[in-house]
Amino acid sequence: MSAADEETALLGLAPVAPDRTTAYGPHPDQVVDLYGPRPEGGAGAAASGPLVVLLHGGFWRAAYDRRHLSPLAAALAGQGLPVALAEYRRVGAGGGAPRTFEDVAAAVEAAAGDRRRDVVLVGHSAGGHLALLAAARPGTPVRRVIAVSPVADLARAHELGLSDGAVAELLGTGPGFAARLAAADPVRHPPVGVPVTILHGTDDPDVPPDLSRRYAAASPETTTLRELPGVGHYAPVTPGTPGFAALLALLRPPRST
């Protein structure tokens, strides 16, 4: 599969309904979809892994919601992993800084419940940015982050004008922009004591892998960067691809023999 075909492959998958949905606030987007372990995982479908809290991307815009990652959530549940697919307010529908960030933090707390010692936060693209930022909040229940093709260096993303100025839309222009950018940039706020693994395709046309390289260089003690040769932006979150297999290997605990 070429990098150019990856978006079509992911968005062509039918959404998968969750087992249940729970609200963490009054807004319609303040919800978390829960997927329990499913029989297609065979013997491995018993819940034995960490709770995966999943954050979708879409450059923080309301046009993109969590449904495109529901096949990923269901596939992970089929491998024995309980999954919480979080929604949050986005630009154009009541979101933007700081509301989007507050929602993500609240969603993670609500999903974690009594599993606070066993939470892995997985974010894709702009969701990777949100995952890195949420893991840096004091008192977070997150114990590990896997950021997939993340917007990990927000200042550089703004300089490049990614997705027609998405960073400026997220933060709002005008007075105080520089301070808002600094506060929301994961490069400037690596999570303390929370290990980070980044998966990034070398052929990503949407989020340059250099952003992940810059993040890893800024926090080498806590960050592991795994580049996927020939992979684009969407394959790691598309079930059945080698990129998905790489993500799954990071999530599933080793089986005892």
Strand ranges inside the chain, DSSP E: 20-23, 31-35, 51-55, 83-86, 119-124, 142-148, 196-201, 223-228
CATH code (residue 221): 3.40.50.1820
Number of domains observed in the structure of the chain: 1
Return all residues near 42 (Cβ < 8 A) that are at least 6 apart: none
- What percent of the chain shows pLDDT beyond 70? 93
Residue 227 main-chain phi, psi, to 5 deg:
-90, 140
Indicate whether 256 belongs to any domain. no
Residue 254's pLDDT is what?
53
Residue 43: pLDDT band with limits 50, 70, 90: very low
Which residues on neighbouring strands pair with residue 22, listed in sequence order? 32
Residue 257: is its pLDDT beyond 50?
no
Indicate whether 236 belongs to any domain. yes
Separation CA 71–CA 77 (nearest Å): 10
Q: Which two tokens stand for residue 50?
A: 């960490």
Indicate whether 257 belongs to any domain. no
Q: Which two tokens stand for residue 183?
A: 């506060």
Indicate whether 222 belongs to any domain. yes
The answer to whether the CB of 59 falls within 8 A of the CB of 132 is no
Q: Which domain holds residue 51?
A: 3-251
Residue 142's pLDDT is what?
95
Residue 37: pLDDT band with limits 50, 70, 90: confident
Q: What is the pLDDT of residues 151-210, one digit of tens each?
A: 999 999 999 999 999 999 999 998 999 999 999 999 999 999 999 999 999 999 999 999
Q: What is the pLDDT of residues 112-154, one digit of tens each?
A: 987 666 899 999 999 999 999 999 999 999 999 999 999 999 9
Indicate whether 120 belongs to any domain. yes
